[in-house]
Amino acid sequence: MKCRVCPSYMEKLYSFYSPFYDHIFGHLLAPGRRRAFHYLERRPHQKILEIGVGPGSTLEFYPPQTEVVGIDISPAMIEQAKAKAQRLNSGCRFTLQVMDAAKLEFPDNTFDALMSAYVITTVSDPHRVCREMLRVVKPGGKFIVVNHTRSDNGNYWGRLEDLLAPVFVRIGFTTDLDVIGVMKEAGIVIDQVIPCNLFNTGRIILGHKEA
Ligand SMILES: C[S@@+](CC[C@H](N)C(=O)[O-])C[C@H]1O[C@@H](n2cnc3c(N)ncnc32)[C@H](O)[C@@H]1O
């Protein structure tokens, strides 16, 4: 039995974190986030969806003339992200709105690429979220996901991550989820996996939707 909590728990928890999230996790998780953006094509006028945009910790990394739609389940996080987008004035067009990543309110094949930083281990139904991610991206479109993913069976870290999951899920993310496996099961083609962050605890997972 994997450890998950309901969306309203996460919404309240991340709304509580929102005033100080960037001061703690913003810095701690910055290397993976920054590096992930090296893999984003610099083509202008791309339409990109970022799920779980939080307080906008990634917004400064988008190249000018990108159309970015950022969604998050927490209204307080979206308020922070909007304030940040206004401060940045980076030449991107940001649309930031409250939405559940498990029920994306966009037509099929809308986006050129999808970005997700440290989100898939926070949602209550990661399989459904990954299926939604696949649905809204255009054929041939790219996925850039930064996340922790459970270690392989046979590696004792995996067992430890299972044991720690009930504690960590209460503070906002689970440690027992094989994010790469869930993305593959949803139909996302995985192209490359790059370790990142302190002690290589994170992964930059690059994928695409079959054309
Ligand atoms: C660990 S934070 C990551 C924030 C940001 N992406 C970053 O780079 O630090 C997880 C974010 O996902 C959001 N979230 C959790 N469940 C969600 C869901 N079902 N739909 C949309 N956003 C969700 C939380 O509100 C929170 O802002």
Taking only the tens place, the pLDDT of each residue in 141-180 is: 999 999 999 998 778 889 999 999 999 999 999 999 999 9
User: Which residue among 35, 119, 201 has the greatest number of ligand 1 atoms within 8 angstroms of its CB, and so is best to mutate?
Assistant: 119
- Provide the pLDDT for residue 51: 98
Would residue 34 count as lying in a domain? no
Is the Cβ–Cβ distance between 203 and 29 less than 8 Å? no
- Provide the pLDDT for residue 1: 57
Would residue 172 count as lying in a domain? yes
- Decide: 76 in ligand 1 pocket, CB within 6 A: no
User: Which residue among 18, 59, 72, 99 has the greatest number of ligand 1 atoms within 8 angstroms of its CB, and so is best to mutate?
Assistant: 72
Q: What are 147's two structure tokens?
A: 């996340």
Structural domain of residue 59, as residue ranges? 7-25+44-208
**pLDDT under 70: residue ranges of the chain:** 1, 3
| Distance from C-alpha of 66 to C-alpha of 47, rounded to nearest angstrom | 6
| Distance from C-alpha of 178 to C-alpha of 148, rounded to nearest angstrom | 9
For the chain, how many structural domains are there in total?
1
- Decide: 25 in ligand 1 pocket, CB within 6 A: yes
- Provide the pLDDT for residue 209: 98
- Provide the pLDDT for residue 27: 85
